[in-house]
Amino acid sequence: MSSNPCNGCAKSGSCSDTEKQRCEKDQQQQQLQQRLAGIRQRILVMSGKGGVGKSTTAVNLALALARQGKRVGLLDIDLHGPSVPTLLGLEGRRPAVEDGCMVPIDTQGLKVISIGFLTQTADDALIWRGPMKTGVIQQFLRDVQWGELDYLVVDCPPGTGDEPLSIVQLLGTTSSGAVLVTTPQKVALVDVRKSVTFCRQLKLPVYGIVENMSGFVCPKCNEVIDIFKKGGGRQMAADMQVPFLGAVPVDPRMVEAGDAGTPLVTVEDSPTAAALRDIAQELQLRCSNPAAGTASLED
């Protein structure tokens, strides 16, 4: 979608390939900065491993922020598992293209772009090697016209490999921070510790830890029952000296809501929805002052 920077340049015929590549890279970086200029805060939702509810958390936090009166964009760049179209009922939709840029789809108060919008069917697999993934991530970030936003919530690929690294490097660490999603089990906590270290090495602020699947909402009485192990995320946050944003119990209605494209945060009487709304409020405080404190925000 990007134009050739050599077009119209009087020196294009005398430049070496290296100079042309450097010029093109500079232009791409300038375009990226122009696209991001209207975004006040970038929230990268990350996890140490898959299967902890990262995408569900990203969607519900984005919608909770929008319902609190904020201008919110949601970028799903989980290349191998883009769940946002399903969670928001947007399967089969395609973003419009204007002036060479993708225009986010407006839904439920959000501006949404997903890598899933670009595949032919939901069954298509992206079988790409690292360099191709990096190039796609760069183009995907550069060629979306977000406009003015208070928050851009980014659903990142899990882990600490090439893809999350590219996203952090391209978005930068100024006005950016990470929300790390885990479950109480030891195997997930071990991996999210690595995510904390990853963020620290890249100097990306950690806005906080979310402990997902913490307790179970009884479908009969709507009370939270501790049938699972819980508290591991809070303890890990204390050990690693990062904020603890909150615990989110499992609500059986979450499965139905996700399949129906209606995020659970919209269900007023759900303890899970209430927890997500509280986390969104705490997250706004953390975004405004990411360096404030290291202990749990609930303590």
Kindly give the interhelix angle for 162-171 and 130-142, rounded to the nearest 10 degrees.
30
Bin 267: left if φ > 0, else alpha if -120 < ψ < 50, else beta: beta
Reported as a single tens digit per residue, the pLDDT across 146-168 is: 999 999 999 999 999 889 999 99
Kindly give the interhelix angle for 186-201 and 232-240, rounded to the nearest 10 degrees.
30
Compute the CA torsion angle 145, 136, 76, 205 (nearest 10 deg).
Answer: -90
Reported as a single tens digit per residue, the pLDDT across 102-139 is: 999 999 999 999 988 887 556 666 666 667 778 888 88
Q: Percent of the chain at pLDDT above 70?
A: 87
Reported as a single tens digit per residue, the pLDDT across 12-51 is: 666 676 777 777 777 878 888 888 899 999 999 999 999 8
Mean pLDDT of 270-291: 90
288 CB contacts (<8 Å, ≥6 apart)? none
C-alpha 157/C-alpha 159 separation (Å) is: 7
Looking at residue 136, what is its pLDDT? 82
Detail the residues annotated as belonging to a binding site: 48-55
C-alpha 90/C-alpha 261 separation (Å) is: 8
Looking at residue 6, what is its pLDDT? 60
In total, the chain counts a number of residues equal to: 299
> Per-residue confidence at 191, pLDDT binned at 50, 70, 90?
very high
- Range name among 72-86, 128-142, 245-259 with the lowest pLDDT average: 128-142
Name all domains of the chain by residue range, CATH numbers in brackets.
23-288 (3.40.50.300)
Q: How many CA atoms lie within 13 A of 233 on its CB side?
A: 31
Residue with tokens 């890990």: 236
Reported as a single tens digit per residue, the pLDDT across 203-235 is: 999 999 999 998 888 888 888 888 777 788 999
Detail the residues annotated as belonging to a binding site for ATP: 48-55
Residue 71 and residue 148 in contact, taking contact as beta carbons nearer than 8 Å: yes
What letters, b where the CB count within 10 A reaches 16 and e where it falls short, cover 151-164?
bbbbbbbbbbeebb
**Residue 132 neighbours by CB distance under 10 Å:** 12
- 299, amino acid identity: D
Looking at residue 26, what is its pLDDT? 78
Looking at residue 56, what is its pLDDT? 94
**pLDDT surpasses 60 at 279:** yes
**pLDDT surpasses 80 at 292:** no
